[in-house]
A and B are shown apart, each in its own frame.
Chain A
């Protein structure tokens, strides 16, 4: 077992209901993917091989975020074995997906052709933005600002007549 067990929501007992930071914010056009496992890796990220259902988002030459839709516990064990320091950020980051370059252009100054990238969204909220298939985008923000972000996204969608 990796250290800092109290960081990982999946260490909670089976009866514990885990709550998304976006639970009260959601509306049509925004999909909540906050449940995804998110592990911050410190160390040489070139050595990391993402497994099935995993994606590696580089944050700096020595930092990366591994996003997994599988078991964060297994990923933690594996990566720890690779000599990396692993910090479970699953609960730290809210994550959502939205459709449309026009929406993103109103939310962030980041170049949408050069994603994933770290930048600011919705006027100063720090974010990691990744491009999925086509015009679908995945946005990670600090969970304490997740509700705010979804409010801004929904307002932006209204402004675009959606």
Chain B
């Protein structure tokens, strides 16, 4: 049944919409919300409360409170009072066992109350400890909000960026006025309105949409359903209005207790009669004015209690079946009714302003908190600024000390007694009480319970609201779907220029940082054998590649590396390990001198950007005449390795690649298969090898030519075995942020006879002191294989850890690297390593396991 046409009604009575609630058909009109259509159809109980499963009905009708949360088309926690009706929607109650009207879990309310005070699970469910998972499951099943469906069609959420001069949040009178004024000044203006609306003269309107926070730099995320706007504005005008505040009294959560705004919307917008007989209790004029709507709707007004004129000690709503039946005021009168309209004044909606950095002060006369000291670029307009009408500060509670149950927070079912108990237990600041009782932490995020809880805390601690203060305002200001914050599922993946060649060759790919790289192309052992016995080829394009060029490039590198590089001959390569100013290993790679003033530096795959930034940062301090250029992406790099590498290379180039013309640690520019290359004769995998660096766009051609010349592709796993046979460390795997050159067994790099360099002071100190531990090689009988990270055990105590371990067919043993105490860093020393729960005896080896003299590299 609807009222006759109302002056400002939003429904289109000509266009019906039907949906289903709990399987039964419900009809409404275009312009209705699901909540209004249900109310018009006679539904009064809309939800069951979070903890006690008490019946709850429409309270605010503004999308603030939790009382109308339902599951709509599988989406939980939809505020149906503001969710427009849509044809065919499937609407269901949530957090109930049975039905909304008969919820078996309401037994908690009837018998569980004394056993479930605030924080009961912290005290009563802690023993036996093993039972906690059971308790947790029980609690989660009995309390809470809706459930995320196990299977559902993922919705699409997008993100859009906007930049404007002025952003106005709130589409009420004050917001519209501010927007028009800013637009008149020639500014680009965007207005966000929760309710709806369209573009106006001179400014754009986003509606229905809500700002969910104000972040640093004027960033405001705006929830527009499936689209998250990230708006940056130089001026932000907050016109979020004010929030009607409830009163705390026995029975204040009964179905039929409403805020004035709910009555206004039911009557004015949807032409629905909210009840038959009402009692109005208010501390402000606007709250009391709701009698206009009630009379227009034909609701009998049994009484109006103006809290500015009278100050009763006790107000109590008396219910039956969860619904309000009467109101008692100071026990002198009992007023039968089915609707109680309460207003504890209007609190400025300052949360966004506080998030932006405004301070919040209490005004005792009005009983509200108002924002002050707004930061630059942030403005408040209308009632959000505290321009609310005069009102009386209501009592903290109208229970008159009788100890009846009065709800402060309907989201989390927190009562007056809960807060008093929290204070008695020592949680007497608002931030502590909030965390202990969870008051203000529910779906409304304090919109309806923040001020009442501060009042109660002030009373319980014998102070005042100003002394209690407010909790920290944090986003989100309004509930937001996590999917909207997550956005599209795009994970940046770096692909080498040879990525598709690897896929075509059937490589199994793995993540290494942001890169996808081949783990192996098939048989790992066969790939290792091919490198040792014939010819292999691996894509090492992910290596960082820098050019350092300039008259003082050598001097710069001498200060960045612990070894000397300025004396490197043109065309020669040296291994380099930059360290931090604390002497810790930062990265490693090679440095080749291509010209007198031009060095080519390689870094680890993960280090390319950080090393480049490190070089640039230091050079900004020192000011050497040297450019540092990151060429990592410009160049592919392919390592051709194996005893046949020279012969294969010779078939693809006119250049002289003999051992005399291109020695170990030589660097030469040459064309291979018609591709311009820089060839670095180095050997990470322990065999004769050439690292060929070429333009990324020519990489496939070069790769194809090398494979056609007989090179077998090998992946990262074979490479890890090969490098371990040479005891070559991988920075970040075998070393960590504490490792230094001496402890990692690389004292030969440190040149303390040269001038100052980054980390020198620390290196000298480290040299004088106990190293603590040393990185050593070890062997143990195959196939026993310790996990990476396995404990090294000495005298029954943990004394080190394994960083790398593999079974090497070539060596015929399990080989690895481990950190051990310095006294054990001797050839042949015995260590115990924990493998699958028992101890395996391993033998320390200080030299490479394979080709210790490097003859194969130089051959």
Using CB atoms and an 8 Å cutoff, list the residues of chain A in contact with chain B: 3-9, 11-21, 23-24, 34, 40, 42, 85, 87-93, 102, 105-106, 108-109, 111, 122-125, 142-145, 147-148, 151-152, 155-156, 159
A18 closest partner in B (C-beta): B697
- Tell me the B690-714 residues at the A interface (CB within 8 Å): 693-701
Interface pairs A-B: 9 shortest CB-CB? A13-B674, A92-B634, A91-B695, A9-B695, A91-B696, A144-B494, A11-B676, A18-B697, A92-B633
* B676 touching A109, Cβ below 8 Å: no
A96: min CB distance to chain B, Å: 15
Among the listed stretches B42-50, B205-213, B495-503, which one makes contact with chain A, having 4 or more residues with CB under 8 Å of it?
B495-503
A156: min CB distance to chain B, Å: 7
B270: min CB distance to chain A, Å: 33
* B629 touching A40, Cβ below 8 Å: yes
* A3 touching B594, Cβ below 8 Å: yes
* B701 touching A144, Cβ below 8 Å: no
Known contacts A21-B696, A125-B492; decide if A5 and B676 are in contact (CB<8 Å): yes
* A106 touching B494, Cβ below 8 Å: no
| Complex CA distance for A102 and B161, rounded to whole angstroms | 9
- Mark each residue of chain B from 547 to 584: 1 if its CB lies under 8 Å from any CB of chain A, else 0: 10100000000000000000000000000000000000
Which one of A21, A91, A152 lies within 8 Å of B635 (CB-CB)?
A91
* A6 touching B490, Cβ below 8 Å: no
| Complex CA distance for A93 and B156, rounded to whole angstroms | 30
* B495 touching A17, Cβ below 8 Å: no
Interface membership of B677, Cβ < 8 A = yes
A7 closest partner in B (C-beta): B634
Most B Cβ at <10 Å: residue of A19, A34, A123: A19
Which one of B156, B492, B676, B700 lies within 8 Å of A17 (CB-CB)?
B700
- Report 14 cross-chain contacts, Cβ distance below 8 Å, ordered by A residue: A3-B594, A6-B695, A7-B695, A8-B676, A15-B674, A18-B698, A42-B629, A90-B634, A90-B697, A93-B633, A106-B159, A108-B161, A123-B490, A143-B696
* B700 touching A85, Cβ below 8 Å: no
* A109 touching B492, Cβ below 8 Å: no
| Complex CA distance for A42 and B635, rounded to whole angstroms | 19
Interface membership of B5, Cβ < 8 A = no
Q: Which chain A residues lie closer than 8 Å to B487 at the CB level? A: 123
Q: Which chain A residues lie closer than 8 Å to B549 at the CB level? A: 85
Which one of B158, B631, B677, B694 lies within 8 Å of A159 (CB-CB)?
B158
A106: min CB distance to chain B, Å: 5
| Complex CA distance for A148 and B496, rounded to whole angstroms | 12
* B598 touching A3, Cβ below 8 Å: yes
A149 closest partner in B (C-beta): B492
Interface membership of B232, Cβ < 8 A = yes
* B497 touching A123, Cβ below 8 Å: no
* B696 touching A12, Cβ below 8 Å: no
Chain B: interface residue total (CB-CB under 8 A)? 50
Interface membership of B441, Cβ < 8 A = no
Interface membership of B538, Cβ < 8 A = no
Interface membership of B163, Cβ < 8 A = yes
Which one of A12, A106, A123 lies within 8 Å of B698 (CB-CB)?
A12
Besides A15-B674, A123-B487, A143-B696, 19 new A-B residue pairs in contact (Cβ under 8 A), listed by A number = A3-B598, A6-B676, A11-B695, A12-B675, A12-B676, A16-B701, A19-B701, A21-B495, A21-B696, A21-B697, A23-B500, A93-B633, A105-B162, A106-B159, A123-B492, A143-B697, A145-B493, A145-B495, A155-B490
* A8 touching B695, Cβ below 8 Å: yes
* B676 touching A148, Cβ below 8 Å: no
* B629 touching A87, Cβ below 8 Å: yes
* B695 touching A12, Cβ below 8 Å: yes
Q: Which chain B residues lie closer than 8 Å to A24 at the CB level? A: 500
* B696 touching A87, Cβ below 8 Å: no
Most A Cβ at <10 Å: residue of B595, B598, B676: B676
* A91 touching B697, Cβ below 8 Å: yes
A19: min CB distance to chain B, Å: 5
- Tell me the B616-635 residues at the A interface (CB within 8 Å): 627, 629, 631-635
Interface membership of B216, Cβ < 8 A = no
A57: min CB distance to chain B, Å: 16
| Complex CA distance for A99 and B634, rounded to whole angstroms | 27
Most A Cβ at <10 Å: residue of B156, B595, B631, B697: B697
Q: Which chain B residues lie closer than 8 Å to A102 at the CB level? A: 160
A129: min CB distance to chain B, Å: 12
B503: min CB distance to chain A, Å: 9
Q: Which chain A residues lie closer than 8 Å to B635 at the CB level? A: 6-7, 91-92
Interface membership of B334, Cβ < 8 A = no
Interface membership of B841, Cβ < 8 A = no
Most A Cβ at <10 Å: residue of B627, B632, B673, B699: B627
| Complex CA distance for A84 and B849, rounded to whole angstroms | 49
* A144 touching B495, Cβ below 8 Å: yes
| Complex CA distance for A105 and B231, rounded to whole angstroms | 11
A90: min CB distance to chain B, Å: 7
| Complex CA distance for A49 and B689, rounded to whole angstroms | 44
